[in-house]
Chain A
């Protein structure tokens, strides 16, 4: 009773853990030529090949066909709600000419040598795998056709694979996929260059948005299985009392009292790893019991005494002040065009604003959980991880085992948002299973989740703009201060690295003669990690709020000023400017995904047109606008707010325009846009984790609030910019979040004249 799914068993021989896979041997002794298709096989290059273990597209790896014709397709990305477990398999099925009703999807375990990169983050699943998965399906279709032609003794040019069967038109002969499966499986994979892909007009599933998600039925009847739901025979349940301060140590705990709680079977200390600890578990005391409730009661009895360690004085209020002071002084330059300092000095007017975006916790509806069974020198884990391959490697490292002896089964994820890219919870389960000699499920409570996160960073963004006598912006200086994610991985990291800088700071597309971006130093005092949309959240909040402030200062229309700053249609290449080192571009080739201002302009025009920008609003109502390129997609959002006399905020309508290149699954793009509006509203209205004496002060949904249905946007209209197949697909899961908060706050200003510079909004409107 788990989510463990049988997949075809392959033994790997002579395979180095590299991008290029040399060969696999099936248990039947059949030698399969498994190759990574070279980039030249694809219409355009992506960053897929540069990810650990790259992309694999061989149908022998992803497709199996049973004699009864049932086609089984492997989903190798983790499903956390974006629909990739449905979309990528139907991409395969479409090119395969398979009938979706006769397709089953199974989840790959963590095995990147076999499946290619499985890191489900960075809004990469469709972007990196639509092409390999098309190749995969098309190659299999060619193999089935070749098998039929061979059996009939006719030229391959005379046969065609259509809707789950191969037909020979001249004779009217037909063979179903099931009848051809064994012969086709013995075929070598066709050379990449010889594979004929469908044209867009021939697609039956891709781009249609008509396929329900594969788990839909099970979700509605309670049969979908998440990490929290894993049950193994003889399994024990554990909860862990973790150090409330990052890097703290357990001094003492009352094991005797915990053991007295009925159902508690064992108390086990988990040693913390000194920071930077990557994803290693924090110091903790685990209570193992016969059910979750007993383990929770046992934990209450521990009364652990902690040595809080070096971060015990972390205080969010004091740190905000510290960051503001850093932002007021020059910092490490990260991009320069012209001479912004000089231009600011000679400007007719200088406008300055400082913005604050606090720490956030991901709070997926499913708190982290993992089940492990360590037996006979082998480890098997079931967990809702976004990083199946990385989790396997980390487990092997932590448990000092060979990677081959570790199996990671990927359950459904009850939300991820970046939290479940970090496998500390899976490592805890492995440690405990080995210690008790039985399968153990580690359950994180909501309090554990909120107080032991890998937090979204906290930041101060200070922007100064110089205006000339004609109110034209001639200078722009943006200082971004934020503890870096790198601090979780390496010591003494005080600056944002290219991945963070490249999320809206150094890739600012504005057409301003003098620009300077700086990154003053900031120390980290907690575990910093990536959170849906990452540094785009503070960067876009500051930049897109500031443009509206400039419009107000100069008495002009916000949209007009925004379009003027975006400037004429062109490609903006920050790599050509001073101090920009290693411009990241979301890990994808610049040539495929340049920064195109025409696409920014188009989504601004689309969203504003649909929202009725410029229309007369009722008293207390306002429209706000923001646009942002992130994860290689272009998204503009117009938010309508209504604020009553008491400061109560409602959102009657949202219009979001998205240009994400070719769209494989329009329905799931719409659901991501709708969801991002709610997610964005939650973080803008309530989202804040504060620290005092090193401890996260929030603990559950009463003090770390989420937007509920009665305060959610009444309707989010999604406007997709149409794009043909030759426009490279770009990210969808994250890029709609960053523009939401600034669009909302700009709308609040339009409605009330109150400018929100510090997130969250909290009670600022009623004050």
Chain B
């Protein structure tokens, strides 16, 4: 039996311990805000926070999350008003929107560690998150806006 916390709620799991956290969230908890994009840690669509660190949930097995605190896009802010979420809306970042949960979780983790990242630091932190629609210019602008509160 694996015990973990998801968005502040205690959960337990006794299925296949090799199942990635991604599929536990999506299929077992019916929380599809965390997206499936590649399954191999190359696109970042499934990014969640594990004990505050941005990780690809497709690369984290359930056996590795015993006692850990998971935050998903659904739990980033109760009202959806995390500075990154607000900046995303202010800048009008998304096109199709599918990758954006992962982008937002990655950006939130970046700003948690670095309150005012440079453009190079933004590029470095966000390079693991692919956006096929090509919203990168607005992602950079939104991360800056979230950092400065502009």
Q: Could you say which residues of chain B place their CB within 8 Å of the CB of A82?
A: 95
Given the known inter-chain contacts A216-B94, A446-B40, A710-B127, please indicate yes or no for A231 contacting B137, CB distance below 8 A: no
Are B134 and A676 in contact, CB atoms less than 8 angstroms apart?
yes
A709 to B123, Cβ gap below 8 A? yes
Cβ < 8 Å to B, chain A residues 273-312: 291-294, 297
Q: How far is the CA of A81 from the CA of B130 in the complex (A)?
A: 15
Give Cα distance in the complex from A311 to B131, angstroms.
33
Closest Cβ neighbor of A225 among chain B residues: B32
When each residue 1-45 of chain B gets 1 if its CB lies under 8 Å from chain A and 0 otherwise, what string results? 000000000000001100110010011101111111111101101
* B35 and A291 form a contact (CB under 8 A): no
Q: Is the CB of B94 within 8 A of A291?
A: no
> Does B132 reach chain A (CB closer than 8 Å)?
yes
Nearest B residue to A218 via CB reads B97
- B42 and A213: CB pair below 8 A? no
B70 at the interface (CB under 8 A from A): no
User: Is A671 touching B85 in the complex (CB atoms < 8 A)?
Assistant: no
How long is the Cα–Cα vector from A1 to B29 in the complex, in angstroms?
13
Interface assignment of A677: CB less than 8 Å from any CB of chain B: yes
Minimum CB–CB distance from A466 to chain B (whole Å) comes to 39
Which of A222, A412, A416, A710 has most chain B Cβ within 10 Å? A222
Cβ proximity bits B60-89 to A, threshold 8 Å, 1 near / 0 not: 000000000000111011001000010011
Chain A's nearest CB lies how many Å from the CB of B43? Answer: 6
Q: Is the CB of A671 within 8 A of B138?
A: yes
Q: Determine whether the beta carbon of A216 is less than 8 Å from that of B36.
A: no
Q: Is A709 in contact with B129, judged by CB distance below 8 angstroms?
A: yes
Does B96 touch A at the CB level, under 8 Å? Answer: yes
Q: Given the known A-B contacts A292-B26, A443-B36, are A212 and B92 also in contact in the complex, defined by CB atoms under 8 Å? A: yes
In the complex the two chains form, is A292's CB within 8 Å of B134's CB? no
Q: Mark A701-731, 1 if CB is under 8 A from B, else 0.
A: 1100011111011011000000000000000
The interface bits of chain B over 107-150 (1 if a CB of A lies within 8 angstroms of the residue's CB, else 0) are 00000000000000011101111111111111110000000000
Distance in angstroms between the alpha carbons of A17 and B132 in the assembled complex: 37
Q: How far is the CB of A242 from chain B (nearest CB, A)?
A: 16
Q: Which residues of B contact A25 (CB under 8 A)?
A: none
In the complex, are the beta carbons of B89 and A212 less than 8 A apart?
A: yes
Residue contact A222 to B137, C-beta cutoff 8 Å: no
With A220-B100, A365-B96 given, is the CB distance from A293 to B16 under 8 Å? yes
A212 to B89, CA, bound (A): 8
Contact across chains for B33 and A222 when beta carbons are under 8 A apart: yes
Q: Is the CB of A220 within 8 A of B123?
A: no
Q: How far is the CA of A221 from the CA of B77 in the complex (A)?
A: 8
CB distance from B56 to the nearest CB of A (A): 12
Q: Are A415 and B85 in contact (CB under 8 A)?
A: no
- CB neighbours (8 Å) of A446 from chain B are 37-40, 43
Contact A675 B134 (CB under 8 A): yes
Judged by a CB distance under 8 angstroms, whether A140 is at the interface is: no
Q: Is the CB–CB distance between A220 and B80 below 8 Å? A: yes
Of B92, B99, B128, which is within 8 A of A216 by CB?
A: B92
| Chain B residue nearest to A415 in the complex (CB) | B96
Across the interface, which residues of A come within 8 angstroms of B89, CB to CB? 212, 216-217, 220
Within A362-409, the residues touching B (CB, 8 Å) are 363-367
B104 lies within 8 A of chain A by Cβ: yes
In contact, B35 and A366 (Cβ under 8 angstroms): yes
Is A445 interfacial (CB-CB < 8 Å)? yes
Cα distance, A687 to B8, chains bound together (Å)? 42
What is the distance, in angstroms, from B141's C-beta to the closest C-beta of chain A? 10
| A244 at interface by CB-CB < 8 Å | no
Does the CB pair B127–A226 fall under 8 Å? no
Asked if B30 contacts A81 (CB within 8 A), the reply is no
Q: How far is the CA of A63 from the CA of B77 in the complex (A)?
A: 34
Expressed in whole angstroms, the minimum distance between the Cβ of B97 and any Cβ of chain A is 4
Residues on B with beta carbons closer than 8 Å to the beta carbon of A1: 30
Closest to B128 in A: A708
Query: B123 near A710 (CB under 8 angstroms)?
Result: yes
With a cutoff of 8 Å between Cβ atoms, the chain B residues found around residue A228 in the complex are 32, 35-36
| A652 interface residue (CB < 8 Å to B) | no
B110 to chain A, nearest CB (A): 12
Q: CB of A354 within 8 A of chain B?
A: no
Judge if A679 is at the interface, Cβ distance under 8 Å: yes
The answer, yes or no, to whether A219 is at the interface (CB within 8 Å) is yes
A229 at the interface (CB under 8 A from B): yes
Q: Once the chains are docked, how many angstroms separate the CA of A412 from the CA of B94?
A: 13
Knowing A213-B94, A365-B99, A367-B36, say if A262 contacts B16 (CB, 8 Å).
yes
Q: Is residue A700 within 8 Å, beta carbon to beta carbon, of the partner chain? A: yes
CB distance from A71 to the nearest CB of B (A): 23
Residues of B within 8 A of A (CB): 15-16, 19-20, 23, 26-28, 30-40, 42-43, 45, 72-74, 76-77, 80, 85, 88-89, 92, 94-101, 104, 122-124, 126-140
Q: List 10 A-B contacts (CB under 8 A).
A: A212-B89, A213-B94, A216-B92, A220-B89, A292-B36, A365-B133, A675-B135, A678-B131, A679-B134, A700-B39
Pairs of residues from A and B, 7 with the lowest C-beta to C-beta distance, nearest first: A222-B33, A678-B134, A414-B98, A81-B96, A222-B73, A81-B95, A675-B134
7 more A-B residue pairs beyond the given contacts A1-B30, A293-B19, with a C-beta to C-beta distance below 8 A? A219-B97, A365-B96, A443-B36, A446-B43, A675-B133, A701-B38, A712-B134
